[in-house]
Amino acid sequence: MLGAGAGLLATPLIAAGFVSHASLDGWIATSLLAGLMVVIGALAGSRISPLASLLPGLVLGVLAGGFLAGAPWVTPPGVVPLPYEAGYRALLAGWALPVACVLVVASLFPSRWRGAPRPAEPPEPAEPPAPQEEVKVQEPPPLPKRIPSRY
């Protein structure tokens, strides 16, 4: 659940970062790109749910694949504001597909889909022994009396 939320939050964050990166210059653009790579690396890490990397990877992959295939639904007129149109096209033509591949491949490992090991249940207490009847200990028979020796 937390991974899906992180993935849904990271998808527009990554897209907005790449779109605005295209219109910036110098150190600001480089710093923004470095920050985006840190976010992508954190999503691809193994300590977080695989949904956190799968959701943005699939969205970016579908958009980039549709753009490269020439699908008209990827860039409908009027959906993206004009100042961001160039950055959006640069995202789809350049960064979206490699980033999508990294995020999707990072979520494919089976070890990321396994749950955390559950703590072992404590062993059930052994049943108390059933009360036994008192066993009477038999005493050995008495030794024969000593016979006096003749010597």
Cα separations in angstroms, 113 against 57, 94, 125: 16, 30, 34
CA–CA distance, 100 with 96 (Å, rounded to integer): 6
- What's the token pair of residue 21? 């990166």
pTM of the model: 0.65
H-only helix segments in the chain: 2-21, 26-44, 51-69, 82-90, 96-106, 110-113
Tell me the per-residue pLDDT of 3-54, one tens digit each, with 9 for 90 and over. 778 788 888 888 788 777 766 778 887 888 888 888 888 888 767 788 888 8
Query: Read out DSSP for 92-114?
Result: IIIIHHHHHHHHHHHT--HHHHS
φ/ψ of 48, rounded to 5, equals -120, 160
Tell me the per-residue pLDDT of 67-92, one tens digit each, with 9 for 90 and over. 888 888 877 777 777 777 777 888 88
Tell me the per-residue pLDDT of 93-147, one tens digit each, with 9 for 90 and over. 888 888 888 888 888 887 777 766 777 777 777 777 666 666 677 888 888 777 7
Closest among 68, 75, 55 to 97, alpha carbons compared: 68
Burial class of residue 20 (count of CB atoms within 10 Å of its CB; 0-12, 13-18, 19+): middle
Residue 62 pLDDT greater than 70, yes or no? yes
Q: Looking at residue 80, what is its pLDDT?
A: 76
Q: Looking at residue 148, what is its pLDDT?
A: 73
